Amino acid sequence: MQIHRNIEALPAFKNAVITIGTFDGVHEGHRKVIRQLTAQARAVNGESVIITFHPHPRKVVNSSILGLRLINTLAERIELLELLEIDHLVIIPFTEVFANQLPEDYLCDFLIEKFRPHTIIIGYDHRFGRDRMGDYKLLEQLQEKYHYELQEIPKHILDNISISSTKIREAILKGDTPTTNHLLGYDFFFEGEVVHGDKLGRELGYPTANLKITDDEKIIPGNGIYAVYVSLAGDPHRYKGMMSIGLRPTVNGTKRTVEVNIFDFDASIYGQTLRVYVKQFLREEVRFDSLEALVKQIDQDKVDSLAVL
């Protein structure tokens, strides 16, 4: 998959079959659209092209949206899309100027001039241009003028995408790992930088990697204890482990932390990036009367984690 970030330096696509969207999650609903895209590209001996945006359009066109949380970072979206046999991914810097183009200017000066599409695959509810005035009907009206084919993404697939994206975000926040991973089609994952903590885990016999989440738009699971796999940047090996997210009430914690205990692992990894694959929610975070009671529960958490992993 070729990745393009400069719309002034795009190649001359061959019979480009394009679709447009944010594809947050790259979940099973999105993959149905992508299968339609790649099948059509093969049918016309052309190239499949996904046009996506960064930052998320909702953050630009609606300044009242604060704290928008995404299932994937841009880097994660790229990684997941690369697995799906797409020829080109074009990442458009989404700005107020871009958003405020007149709909026909968007079509003529952007889609037609930059991509020369053979086919545009788009949902019936797709909106574009200033005040979202452009729609599927406009694309139909201008089809003959600009000589492209138009394919509609079926309503039931679009509804599934919207419902799934909402359900996935809700499930992640609730710690509902079965729903999350089923709808995604893969284990939800996130990354963080390993930073120094208070070393309490080491004193308890369970040293933890304390994670600093570097992308504040990335959605993080709700508080609780989880069975996880983890990997280090550049290392394909996945280690088994367990993760705690929360306030650590037993020691009167006041700051939300993300800590991972990696089984059978004792290397120093401070400053490195750790990827966490969230496999199964185990239990809620609770306050224990003593550190001894906490350790006893952690012992059981490890047993429960290994039964899942």
Q: Can you give the three-state secondary structure of the chain, one letter per residue?
A: CEEECCHHHCCCCCCEEEEECCCCCCCHHHHHHHHHHHHHHHHCCCCEEEEEEECCHHHHHCCCCCCCCECCCHHHHHHHHHHHCCCEEEEEECCHHHHCCCHHHHHHHHHHHHHCEEEEEEECCCCECHHHCECHHHHHHCHHHHCCEEEEECHHHHHHHHHHHHHHHHHHHHCCHHHHHHHHCCCCEEEEEEECCCCHHHHCCCCCEEEECCCCCECCCCCEEEEEEEEECCCCCCEEEEEEEECCHHHCCCCCEEEEEECCCCCCCCCCEEEEEEEEEEECCCCCCCHHHHHHHHHHHHHHHHHHC
Peptide bond into 55 cis (omega under 30): yes
Is residue 259 annotated as a catalytic residue, yes or no?
A: yes
Out of 47, 149, 259, 292, the active site residue is 259
Two tokens at 125?
Answer: 């509810």
**How would you classify the pairing of strands 48-54 and 16-20?**
parallel
Report the catalytic residues. 259
